[in-house]
């Protein structure tokens, strides 16, 4: 890995790294916050997956996670949202392509060659982080919007790899939303049976989750109808799944919302990881 930048932050280090990715077939960039406790030994890891059109940088600079991670002794990994580069397919006018990886492995052209964010996060980047950074093999995962969708689906399908999961305004039921059906059909094809592996509401119904789940959703979110948090909440209630879906009065879909509740989510993960 090449170091792109390093900055002191709350006694720890906020770094950005670049590395060649065999999984995505291009160069990938990610950020990592290492708390001051990491100087004394490996610390647990909180993965933060960002939303549509974001890079690693948005949450790193606007999410406010470093102060809380330093207090609780967690490393925070901020992956990019997709492969990038001149040779990577793109369709920004239709919320597809670069910045819109949707945390799956695409099977249709022109996306299949590079868009393998599911394997990239779970296997390639995870291995790099464990090999090169002072972190323990103990992981929680969270994310916002498209990243909340990714956090929930990756955790539910791989419960042995994560100890905790939460989400900020996740795309909770993409198989029944325009934020999902368009991307799932483009990346995976028209067979809707393949889409269910990337819908947290359907996955929770089928698989459940070994512990509790925390979801925060802004009640004034301008995309509320596309996110469908009620579908996830109904499934949690019907399945008697431990957890909380909190509808936060007055909050929208922005990073002001994420920043406000970042403290709660970091503390919640720290309690389950430490």
Note whether 35 and 74 are within 8 A (CB): yes
Q: What is the dihedral of CA 127, 133, 136, 140, to 10 degrees?
A: -70
Selecting among 38, 50, 221, 265, the annotated active-site residue is 221
Selecting among 198, 253, 265, 269, the annotated active-site residue is 253
Strands of 37-127 (E only): list them.
43-49, 75-79
Q: Does 221 qualify as catalytic in the annotation?
A: yes
Strands 213-218, 243-248: pairing is parallel
Sheet of strand 26-34: strand arrangement: 2-9, 12-21, 26-34, 75-79, 43-49, 135-143, 164-168, 213-218, 243-248
Judged by DSSP in three states, 50 sits in coil
- 94: exposed, middle or buried (Cβ count in 10 Å: 0-12, 13-18, 19+): exposed
Selecting among 145, 166, 177, 200, the annotated active-site residue is 145
Residue positions annotated with a catalytic role: 145, 221, 253
């Amino acid at each position: 890995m090449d170091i792109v930048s390093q900055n002191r932050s709350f006694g720890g280090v906020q770094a950005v790294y670049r590395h060649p990715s065999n999984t995505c077939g291009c160069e990938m960039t990610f950020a990592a916050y290492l708390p001051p406790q990491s100087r004394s030994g490996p610390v647990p890891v909180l993965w933060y997956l960002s939303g549509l059109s974001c890079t690693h940088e948005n949450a790193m600079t606007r999410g406010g996670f470093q102060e809380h991670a330093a207090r609780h002794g967690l490393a925070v990994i901020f992956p990019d949202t997709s492969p990038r580069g001149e040779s990577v397919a793109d369709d920004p006018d239709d919320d597809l392509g670069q910045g819109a990886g949707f945390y799956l492995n695409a099977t249709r052209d022109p996306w299949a060659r590079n868009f393998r964010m599911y394997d990239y996060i779970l296997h390639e980047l995870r291995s790099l982080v464990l090999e090169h950074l002072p972190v323990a093999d103990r992981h929680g995962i969270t994310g916002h919007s498209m990243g909340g969708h990714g956090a929930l689906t990756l955790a539910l399908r791989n419960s042995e790899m994560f100890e905790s999961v939460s989400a900020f305004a996740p795309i909770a039921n993409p198989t029944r939303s325009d934020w999902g059906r368009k991307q799932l059909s483009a990346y995976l094809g028209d067979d809707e049976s393949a889409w269910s592996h990337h819908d947290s509401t359907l996955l929770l119904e089928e698989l459940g989750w070994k512990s509790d789940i925390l979801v925060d959703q802004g009640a004034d979110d301008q995309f509320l109808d596309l996110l469908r948090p009620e579908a996830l909440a109904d499934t949690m209630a019907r399945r008697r799944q431990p957890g909380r879906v909190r509808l936060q009065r007055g909050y929208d879909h922005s990073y002001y919302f994420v920043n406000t509740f970042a403290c709660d989510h970091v503390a919640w993960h720290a309690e389950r990881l430490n």
